[in-house]
Amino acid sequence: MTWRSEAACLGHDPMLWFPGALGSSREAMRICWTECDVRLECLEVGMRTQYERRSGIFGGLSAAERQRLYRQRSAA
């Protein structure tokens, strides 16, 4: 079984994780941070170089937050 089969986002509207310019990511982030047991695995997928600039919420972080974390990790 992969981490995706354990993700709390399963069964929710996928658009929650891709709210667009005027949408809110609050509900997606709440689900990630409070309900998801595989948030860190999802974040690692979102942190891979080819995904770091991808829009949407991965592991409870927005694309901008993942970019900052990626830069911090690279500088360390």
Q: 57 phi and psi, to 5 degrees?
A: -100, 125
- State which of 15-24, 36-45, 65-74 shows the largest mean pLDDT: 36-45
Residue 13 has pLDDT above 60, yes or no: yes
Dmax (CA) for the chain in angstroms is: 37
Mean pLDDT of 40-46: 91
Average pLDDT, the chain: 87
> Domain residues of the chain, as ranges?
23-75
C-alpha span between 67 and 7 (Å, rounded): 22
Choice between 30 and 51, residue whose per-residue pLDDT is larger: 30
